[in-house]
Each structure stands twice: as C-alpha cells, then as structure tokens.
Amino acid sequence: MVRSAPMPNEIVGIDHVVLRVRDVDRSIAFYCGVLGCHEERRLDDLGLIQLRAGRSLIDLVDLDKPLGQRGGAPAAKEGRNVDHFALQVRDFDEAALRDQLTRHGIDPGEVMQLYGAEGTGPAVYLRDPDGNTVELKAI
C-alpha cells in the first residue's frame, strides 16, 4: 500500500454524492423515509435538494430543472452516471436492516464482507428508485 505524506488538503472522507433523479419526491421518500437521511437545504430555482447522510451529503438534482438539464441523459440500466456509492452504517444489525428494507418493499440482497474506508465489514447493496446502486457499509 502506498501512503503519501500529509498534505495541507488531505482527503479525509466523502463530502457529497450528486444524483440526477427523475422524481425528487420519490427519491426523498427513499433516502429520508427508508434510509433515515434528512433534508438539509433546498435550492428550488436550480432543482437541487441536499440531504444529510451523517457527515456527508447526498445532493438530488431534478432532471426537469436547470441544473439537471445540463447533465445529459438520466441514469438508466444501459448507463449510469454513478456506479454506486457507499453510506456508512453504525451498529450494523442485519436482521433489523432486512426488516426495515422489506417493510418498504426493497429486496435487501446478500450481506457480504467488503473492504471500505473503515476496513472490512458487513455490507449490502440495494437500488434506489432511479436504479442507482447504494451500498450500506458497516463502520
């Protein structure tokens, strides 16, 4: 493993992820109602809604608004604008997580041991309403 010397602008984590979405309300229901994020800021003139996800943000960009129209085609099965992103989960409880996702009609998939920013631990992949892949990763 190659480690660089400390720098004045050292990267220490993910600040935000930007997702271009077809239905803002449906995405807010998923990220807030299912996963527990909360809306932090909204810039309606641009079509930007920022959701708090722990120390990070998930920015939702409405495809029908000015900011969304600048980015090209929407995410689709044939091509996505993001492969996936991982949300860190404290106190990963597989049974409780499966129950929560199933109650919302989401297939929780297989829990795997994966390596991430905080080391190896349990993780599961799922899809948001626009088909973006979300990894829920234990810290």
pLDDT tens digits along 72-90:
777 777 666 676 888 988 8
Query: What pTM does this model have?
Result: 0.74
Residues in the chain with pLDDT < 50? Answer: 9
Quick check: is 116 in a domain? yes
Quick check: is 25 in a domain? yes
pLDDT cut 70: percent of the chain above it: 86
State both tokens at 113. 């041991």
pLDDT score, position 80 = 62
As a whole number of angstroms, the distance between CA 65 and CA 90 comes to 35
CATH of the domain at 28: 3.10.180.10
Tell me which H or E stretch contains 101.
Answer: helix 94-103
Average pLDDT, the chain: 85
Quick check: is 8 in a domain? no
DSSP letter for 5, please: P
Number of domains present in the structure of the chain: 1
pLDDT score, position 116 = 83
